[in-house]
């Protein structure tokens, strides 16, 4: 494996390197594979009289009375150890070594970096399965990559991947270099079975990468842990990373951990992929405050608190489903409901059909007249007349129900 900086011993911890026809060197852009990564001043020394990085020796401009985090030495570039965040995340997700874990500035940096590393501008393509997260296409446009769309199976609100059509598209077009799968989906809230992920990973004609975006996976994992649903089989594609050399799993601390403002995204893959990403990313991409707060959120006590919050949000979600069913002009709740939101149909009349105009009316009135904001998703494939409602507190959910009942009366 000709990736600069690769931890060979960590690479040996992979259980397998399936599929046999996949070669990472044929996917990485040649200039990325050959680049000499920037070596940060803190890679060698983190302590002592530091006169090596052109930092401000007099300290931060924040007056001492206002600086609540003097222990972070904000006038210094971040220590590469980042308060131990990487090994903690690695352990939490069951990875065999921290060389399997990448840290980014939110999932969006992860998505963009994957496209920059493994697809050639103006030549290669990405495949997405709408309706899905919009940043896959936005990043593709920024990176000058064409987008191939294979819609989800939307009949009956199931929102599952059409695996045969995805495989056919991959076999027909060798310029497709990555597939983005969102599980649980956004805006669908539906998990993708790992059996479907495996089939796409093992597509014989496909030589590219499969990226499984699991921003909301903790909600499904908590339901499984509490015995509510999903059985006992693994749900997260992170369980496949040590087996498949062509798999990247992205996650985030924004949702379950409630750290959207910190902007810390994660990626899990076999060490060669992670090393390529680390070689390419901007130096010091994770700030000291972000790393410190993430470290606090990953303590045993904080993870326990996070899981308690998940259980509360799941209970609130279940109650919201029941309450929505009592409003005559609200139709089905679509999708798998495995995240912290619901995709809800707004009907043209009680017992009628989904209506985009009425959904837009409810969305606008709630936001502009009553200060309660949801998302209008009625223009997306398979989402006619749909609003996406994030699960709030019990009081916020009750307010949402009251407003919908009044506006749709």
Both tokens assigned to 289: 């405050």
DSSP 150-207: ---B-GGG--B--HHHHHHHHHH-TTEEEEEEESS-TTT--PPPHHHHHHHHT-TT--
The pLDDT of residue 1 is 63
Number of domains observed in the structure of the chain: 2
Which pLDDT tens digit goes with each residue over 14-47? Answer: 999 999 999 999 999 999 999 998 888 878 888 8
Q: Are residues 398 and 280 in the same domain?
A: no
Q: Helices 356-370 and 394-407, interaxial angle, to 10°?
A: 120
Q: Which of 252, 170, 172 has its CA nearest to residue 209?
A: 170
pLDDT of residue 22: 96
The pLDDT score that the predictor gives to residue 290 is 95
Same domain, 217 and 292: yes
Quick check: is 343 in a domain? yes
**The predicted structure's pLDDT at residue 39:** 83
388: tokens are 């996406």
Give yes or no for residue 69 having a pLDDT over 90.
no
Q: Of 302, 329, 364, at which residue does a domain stop?
A: 302
- 231 and 157 in one domain? yes
Structural domain including 293 reads 80-302
Give the gyration radius of the chain's Cα atoms: 23
Q: Do 226 and 314 lie in a common domain?
A: no
Task: Say what the pLDDT of residue 171 is.
Answer: 97
Final residue belonging to a domain, choices 280, 302, 324: 302
Angle at 181 between CA 178 and CA 182, to 5 degrees: 145
Digit-coded pLDDT (tens) for 327-385: 999 999 999 999 999 999 999 999 999 999 999 999 999 999 999 999 999 999 999 99
Q: Determine what percent of the chain is predicted with pLDDT higher than 70.
A: 100
* Distance in angstroms (rounded) separating the CA atoms of residues 62 and 69: 10
List phi, psi (to 5°) of 161: -70, 135
């Amino acid at each position: 494996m000709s990736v600069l900086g690769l931890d060979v011993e960590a690479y040996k911890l992979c259980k397998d390197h399936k599929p046999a026809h996949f070669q990472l060197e044929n996917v990485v852009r040649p200039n990325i594979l050959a680049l000499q990564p920037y070596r940060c001043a803190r890679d060698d020394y983190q302590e002592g009289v530091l006169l090596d990085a052109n930092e401000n020796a007099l300290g931060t401009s924040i007056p001492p009375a206002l600086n609540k985090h003097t222990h972070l030495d904000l006038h210094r570039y971040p220590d590469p150890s980042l308060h131990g965040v990487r090994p903690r995340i690695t352990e939490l997700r069951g990875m065999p070594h921290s060389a399997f874990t990448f840290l980014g500035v939110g999932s969006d940096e992860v998505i963009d970096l994957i496209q920059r590393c493994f697809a050639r501008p103006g030549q290669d393509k990405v495949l997405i399965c709408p309706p899905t997260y919009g940043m896959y296409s936005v990043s593709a446009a920024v990176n000058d990559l064409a987008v191939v769309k294979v819609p989800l199976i939307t009949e009956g609100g199931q929102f599952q991947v059409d695996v045969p059509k995805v495989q056919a598209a991959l076999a027909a077009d060798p310029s497709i270099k990555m597939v983005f799968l969102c599980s649980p989906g956004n805006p669908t809230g539906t998990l993708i079975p790992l059996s479907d992920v495996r089939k796409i990973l093992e597509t014989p004609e496909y030589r590219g990468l499969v990226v499984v975006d699991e921003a909301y996976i903790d909600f499904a994992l908590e339901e499984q842990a509490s015995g509510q649903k999903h059985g006992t089989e693994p749900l997260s594609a992170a369980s496949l990373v040590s087996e498949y050399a062509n798999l990247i799993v992205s996650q985030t601390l924004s949702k379950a951990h409630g750290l959207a403002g910190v902007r810390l995204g994660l990626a899990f893959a076999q060490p060669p992929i992670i090393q390529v990403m680390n070689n390419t990313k901007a130096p010091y991409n994770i700030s000291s405050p972000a790393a410190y707060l993430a470290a606090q959120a990953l303590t045993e006590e904080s993870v326990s608190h996070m899981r308690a919050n998940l259980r509360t949000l799941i209970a609130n979600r279940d109650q919201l489903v029941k309450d929505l069913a009592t409003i005559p002009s609200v139709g089905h709740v679509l999708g798998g409901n495995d995240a912290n939101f619901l995709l809800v149909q707004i009907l043209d009349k009680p017992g009628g059909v989904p209506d985009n105009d009425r959904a837009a009316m409810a969305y606008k009135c709630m936001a502009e007249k009553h200060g309660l904001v949801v998302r209008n998703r009625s223009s997306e494939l398979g989402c006619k007349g749909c609003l996406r409602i994030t699960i709030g507190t019990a009081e916020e959910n009750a307010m949402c129900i009251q407003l919908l009942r009044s506006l749709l009366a």
